[in-house]
Structure 1
Amino acid sequence: MCQVETVDGADKAAEIAAVDGVDAIQMGPLDLSASLGYLWDPGHKKVKGVLREAEKAVLGSSEGKKGAFLCGFAMPHDPPEELRNRGYHMVSGTVDTGLFCSAAVEDVLRFKRCLKSEVVEEEEEEEKKYWSE
């Protein structure tokens, strides 16, 4: 499995997909957007255009023979249904950095909620002490 995530990779997607032993081509829209000068903007019109051409090249590589599978990442601007409609064989719902980021944010939020509940419990205890005197 190879990942296409640069302008050069996208331009040579058909050649990469045709290499004997390459079973799948994974499109990397975030890195491709950076390669094109649109950092963190995989939905930019130019990025989408380059990506569509690379997708067609991979899908066209299988004409008349077993070609490489087209794989990619579902994103908010490009949901799994759209990728399937464009011919993707495998769609990933998330990536490791996204999972780690979500887990870290949730951990911090859980900690903050814990601190808030401790403050509320302490206030309730203080209130009870006050009224019991």
Structure 2
Amino acid sequence: MHMPRNGFKAALAKDATHYGIWAGFATGYAAEIVASLGYDWMLIDGEHAPNTVPSVLNQLQTVAPYTTAPVVRAVNGDASLIKQLLDVGAQTLMIPMVETAEQAQALVRAMRYPPHGIRGVGGGLTRATRWDGVDNYLNTAHEQLCLIVQVESRLGVENVAAIAAVEGVDAVFIGPADLSIGLGHAGNPGHPEVQERIKHAIDATLAAGKVSGILAPNEDDARRYQAWGCRFIAVAIDISLLRQSALATLARYRPAADTQAPSRTY
């Protein structure tokens, strides 16, 4: 059996913009709806959605027949958790709150087998190897794995050039919400200081020869970040879409109790 191809990693090598959607419901049924819509990629969120390794596995299995590529965000950079997520078949991982090149290097090691890393061998126990069905998996697994590091703090942006330069880091993803609050502008990623830091992070990532991504559900933000060079942009969040659509539908029949505009942060 051949190694399963990582469609997301292959797409990043092309000079095009790839539009994604956050999947936050933590169920295979909802994830399949999202995967059937035609987005280029989807983020199965293990940081802020109530996901566990078994629920991530369920969603990976559910969306496998679709062309939308799954990206799994871990709750943190713990090497043991990374091992589990890789073993259940995640091929693209996003790790939040990366602030130094040393952190990025440790994440690369967590995704690779010795002598180049520390990933433990699960062999026939793991979906990643198709239960020992993939030929030469131990020596070729890294070819289809993709590591996205998330830069979303003042320190992370200060170190973004060194982070992006780490061999084995495939892309840098900017988190406007955490960055804005860390800079003292809670809920306001449009603040000039935040925007300057985002632009700096994008420029530094591109200068390192890596791909830059960002979360931008607001269309004006998404188009600006695309013009700045972001190549994979999450332009929607499934939970937010449900809430906004439900409120808009109710408002057609009675005055809306909640008139707040959709947030630009998420």
Instruction: Compute the displacement of 1:108 (Å).
Output: 6.5
Query: Would you say 1:83 and 2:83 are equivalent positions?
Result: no
> Gaps (5+ residues) in structure 1?
63-67, 117-133
Instruction: Compute the displacement of 1:40 (Å).
Output: 0.6
Query: Would you say 1:20 and 2:167 are equivalent positions?
Result: yes
TM-score (ref. length: structure 1): 0.68
1:4 to 137, 143, 151: 151
* Mapped contact 2:219–2:235 kept (Cα < 8 A): no
* Mapped contact 1:70–1:89 kept (Cα < 8 A): yes
- Which residue of structure 2 lines up, in the alignment, with residue 74 of structure 1? 216
* Mapped contact 2:217–2:234 kept (Cα < 8 A): no
Instruction: Compute the displacement of 1:55 (Å).
Output: 1.3
- Which residue of structure 2 lines up, in the alignment, with residue 122 of structure 1? none
Alignment partners' CA distance in 1, 2:166 and 2:200: 18
Describe the shift of the 1:105–1:23 C-alpha distance in structure 2 as closer, same or farther (beyond 3 A). Answer: same
Describe the shift of the 1:101–1:76 C-alpha distance in structure 2 as closer, same or farther (beyond 3 A). Answer: closer
Alignment partners' CA distance in 2, 1:80 and 1:73: 8
Counterpart mapping for 1:113-124 below 5 A: none
TM-score (ref. length: structure 2): 0.36
Alignment partners' CA distance in 2, 1:33 and 1:53: 14
- Which residue of structure 2 lines up, in the alignment, with residue 94 of structure 1? 236
Bigger Rg, which one? 1
Alignment partners' CA distance in 1, 2:211 and 2:180: 22
Describe the shift of the 1:104–1:86 C-alpha distance in structure 2 as closer, same or farther (beyond 3 A). Answer: closer
More helix by share: 1
Instruction: Compute the displacement of 1:26 (Å).
Output: 0.6
